[in-house]
Amino acid sequence: MATSAPYLLGKQFSQLMNLTAKTQSFLCNDTSTFIELVNIASRSSNPYYLKEAVDKFKVKYYPKGYKENKNPLNTEQKKMVFDLYRPRFQPSYKPYKDLERMAFLRVIRACRDYLFLGMREEDTKKLVQKIVQSHELLFN
């Protein structure tokens, strides 16, 4: 059985870059808000921690709701996206699993849907559920 490459494909990375630019909050220039949400999702599979962290994220970056960004990312924000070119949920000393990239893409889609649907309470619950399922896919 051939193993997949431990990085995003060109099209996947391009979509991630465009999605990151589109979802960038107007309140923040020093970090990429979408990548911050993805980092929250990759840190834990504890639903209580995730819900609390996502709620803090929403208050910090989108207090008035999501509004599409038309401006390009700055250099620092692009660097944050490039750090995810090789997505890892596990520590780097563990071998790369074929499912790791698929789980990462599931989390990306869940975060995208969360932002585009309006970040309501029920959307937060769905996001947390999808993140936990993605972690279970890898670690069980």
Nearest to 107 by CA among 131, 124, 140, 136: 131
Instruction: Kindly state whether residue 2 falls inside one of the protein's structural domains.
Output: no
Instruction: Kindly state whether residue 73 falls inside one of the protein's structural domains.
Output: yes
CB atoms within 10 A of CB 14: 11
Instruction: Kindly state whether residue 15 falls inside one of the protein's structural domains.
Output: yes
- Domain membership of residue 102 as a residue range: 10-86+97-139
Instruction: Kindly state whether residue 21 falls inside one of the protein's structural domains.
Output: yes
Taking the model in full, what pTM does it have? 0.84
Instruction: Kindly state whether residue 20 falls inside one of the protein's structural domains.
Output: yes
Supply the mean pLDDT for the chain.
84
Instruction: Kindly state whether residue 91 falls inside one of the protein's structural domains.
Output: no
How many domains in the chain?
1
Instruction: Kindly state whether residue 62 falls inside one of the protein's structural domains.
Output: yes
Q: Hunting for tokens 């995810």 — which residue is that? A: 84
Predicted confidence (pLDDT) per residue in 4-57, tens digit? 556 777 888 888 899 999 999 887 778 889 989 988 988 888 899 999 999 999
